Amino acid sequence: MTQTLLTTLSTSDMLEIDGLHAFDFALDDQQLLIKSMDGRVEKRWSFTLAQVTAATFDETLQSWTLTGESGEHRLTCFQAFTGNNNDEDEADDDA
Q: Can you give the CATH number for the domain in which 53 is found?
A: 2.30.29.190
**Does 34 map to a domain?**
yes
Quote the Cα angle for 82-23-87, to 5°: 20
Domain count, the chain: 1
- At residue 70 the predicted structure's pLDDT band, cuts being 50, 70 and 90, is confident
**Does 70 map to a domain?**
yes
pLDDT > 90: percent of the chain: 66
**Does 36 map to a domain?**
yes
**Does 40 map to a domain?**
yes
Question: pTM for this one?
Answer: 0.77
**Does 90 map to a domain?**
no
**Does 54 map to a domain?**
yes
Query: Quick check: 84 pLDDT over 80?
Result: no
**Does 31 map to a domain?**
yes
Residue range(s) defining the domain that contains residue 31 = 5-79
Q: What is the mean pLDDT of residues 66-90?
A: 78
Judged by phi (left if over 0) then psi (alpha if -120 to 50, else beta), residue 32 lies in beta
Q: What are φ and ψ of residue 48, in 5° steps? A: -75, 165
